[in-house]
């Protein structure tokens, strides 16, 4: 039974507790939370997306969202300032994980990079193929085939999965070969000191030698520069390979505040590596694909919480290209032509 004294003590304790907690309650209602140092600060948020439908997005191992055709991500608000582990999972894809910092009154953004784990490669043709190139105007691949005494140039149509009619009699060489430039309906080549212009009829899957016309017989300065540099689709980001230093870097070109995936104006993605090929990841400006060592790799520009580098393909010394208008990779490795899907059906 409560005595009068106990009742008074309980009453005054309740009054004191009410006034002590009222500022905290009001602060919470206004969007304030305690941070890791027990300071009351305005909350922030996280916005995480994924290109792959059906991705599961986790915050500190707690499922927050499964993406669908209409919603490719999730916005998580009212988060206390601090570090959070974001994990994105999808069956038959490599898991993606990043630790991100949430700041007061700001939204931290990130986009998962999911790479198929298996069942995404197929050998298209076996042979002694090497020197892969891809047209900048059409879904068309070019490479050489070693026939022993001679080497011949082959063209492959990835959409149809067919070779252009045998062009061995047109373009065969002994020692040197160079792609000078692609044309909307052809190509200019240099082989064994000879310059040839080849015209294509892609519908009929044929090729023929035509006069050089007003085409320059060698690369101009812009074409030479393009050998070791790439621009994203919007021309906001430039990727460049510094061959002498073995450095692959990405640079933000716009005279604006750079996006979340740039911590600095220039990001060094790889150093001390011999890069055989590199391209922007299809449809993205925040990731690249590069071939070096024994594989082909996907690399994030975003280094927050550690830069993710994923294996797309491992073999001997693969080289790759992404055909014009397509989202799949085509590679040459150990003399074979291989297709590699970046998204599973």
Residues with Cβ within 8 Å of 260's Cβ and at least 6 positions away in sequence, in order, are: 108, 109, 110, 302, 304
Q: Residue 221 is inside which H or E element, if any?
A: helix 221-226
Give me the pLDDT at residue 1, please: 56
Backbone angles phi, psi at 141, to 5 degrees: -110, 150
pLDDT of residue 299: 98
The pLDDT of residue 11 is 56
- Neighbour-count burial of 166, counting CB atoms closer than 10 A to its CB (0-12 exposed, 13-18 middle, 19+ buried): exposed
> What's the rounded Cα separation, in Å, for the pair 150 and 152?
7
Rounded Cα distance, 309 and 291, in Å: 12
Give the start-to-end residue ranges of the domains of the chain: 32-112, 228-314
The continuous run of DSSP H or E covering 152 comes out as strand 151-157
Tell me whether residue 246 is exposed, middle or buried, using C-beta atoms within 10 angstroms of its C-beta: 0 to 12, 13 to 18, 19 or more.
middle
CB contact set of 208 (below 8 Å; sequence gap of 6+) = 170, 198, 199
d(CA 201, CA 181): 17
Pick the CATH number of 32-112 from 2.40.30.20, 3.40.50.2300, 3.40.50.300, 2.60.40.10: 2.60.40.10
Helix (H) or strand (E) holding 16: helix 4-29
Q: What pLDDT score does 317 carry?
A: 96
| Confidence (pLDDT) at 345 | 78
Percentages helix, strand, coil for the chain, rounded to the nearest 5? 10, 45, 45
Give residue 148's pLDDT: 86
Three-class SS of residue 168?
A: coil
pLDDT at 30: 46
126 alpha carbon, distance to own chain's centre: 28
Cβ atoms of 86 and 24 within 8 Å: the answer is no
Task: Profile the chain (345 residues) by mean pLDDT over runs of 10 residues.
Answer: 61 60 51 54 88 96 95 93 96 97 92 94 95 96 92 93 78 91 94 91 89 91 91 95 95 92 95 95 97 97 96 97 96 97 91
CA dist list (Å): 238 to 11, 26, 234, 242, 283: 68, 48, 10, 13, 15
- Tell me what pLDDT residue 110 has: 97
How much is the pLDDT for 324?
Answer: 96
> Can you give the C-alpha Rg of the chain in angstroms?
28
Q: What is the pLDDT of residue 27?
A: 47
Q: What are 84's two structure tokens?
A: 């959070």
Query: At residue 314, what are phi and psi to the nearest 5 degrees?
Result: -125, 135
Closest by Cα among 168, 180, 134 to 337: 134
Structure token digits, residue 15? 């009054």
DSSP states of 158-215: TTTTEE-S--TTTSEESS-EEEEEEETTEEEEEETTEEEEEEEETTTTEEEEE--TT-
Would you state the pLDDT for residue 181?
95
C-alpha 86/C-alpha 297 separation (Å) is 22
- Gap between the Cα atoms of 189 and 299, Å rounded: 32
Structure tokens at 161: 């999965």
């Amino acid at each position: 039974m409560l005595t009068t004294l106990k009742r008074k003590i309980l009453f005054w304790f309740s009054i004191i507790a009410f006034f002590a907690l009222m500022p905290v309650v009001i602060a919470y209602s206004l969007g304030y939370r305690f941070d890791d140092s027990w300071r009351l600060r305005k909350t922030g948020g996280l916005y995480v997306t994924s290109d792959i439908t059906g991705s599961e997005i986790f915050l500190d191992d707690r499922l927050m969202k499964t993406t669908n055709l209409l919603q490719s991500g999730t916005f998580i608000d009212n988060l206390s300032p601090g570090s959070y582990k974001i994990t994105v999972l999808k069956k038959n894809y490599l898991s993606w994980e990043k630790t991100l910092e949430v700041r007061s009154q700001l939204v931290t953004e990130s986009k998962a990079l999911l790479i198929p784990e298996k069942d995404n490669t197929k050998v298209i043709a076996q042979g002694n193929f090497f020197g892969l190139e891809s047209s900048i105007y059409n879904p068309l691949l070019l490479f050489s085939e070693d026939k022993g005494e001679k080497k011949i140039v082959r063209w492959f149509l990835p959409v149809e999965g067919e070779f252009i009619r045998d062009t061995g009699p047109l373009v065969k060489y002994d020692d040197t070969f160079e792609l000078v430039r692609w044309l909307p309906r052809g190509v200019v080549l240099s082989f064994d000191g000879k310059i040839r212009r080849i015209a294509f009829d892609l519908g009929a899957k044929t090729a023929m030698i035509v006069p050089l016309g007003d085409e320059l017989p060698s690369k101009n300065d812009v074409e030479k520069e393009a050998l070791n540099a790439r621009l994203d689709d919007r021309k906001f980001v430039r990727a460049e390979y510094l061959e002498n230093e073995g450095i692959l870097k990405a640079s933000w070109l716009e005279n604006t505040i750079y996006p979340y995936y740039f911590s600095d104006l220039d990001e060094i993605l790889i150093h001390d590596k011999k890069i055989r090929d590199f391209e922007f990841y299809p449809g993205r400006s925040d990731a690249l694909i590069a071939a070096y060592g024994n594989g082909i790799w996907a690399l994030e520009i975003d280094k927050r919480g550690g830069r993710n580098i994923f294996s797309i393909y491992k073999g001997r010394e693969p080289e790759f290209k992404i055909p014009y208008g397509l989202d799949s990779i085509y590679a040459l490795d150990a003399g074979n032509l291989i297709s590699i899907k970046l998204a599973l059906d």
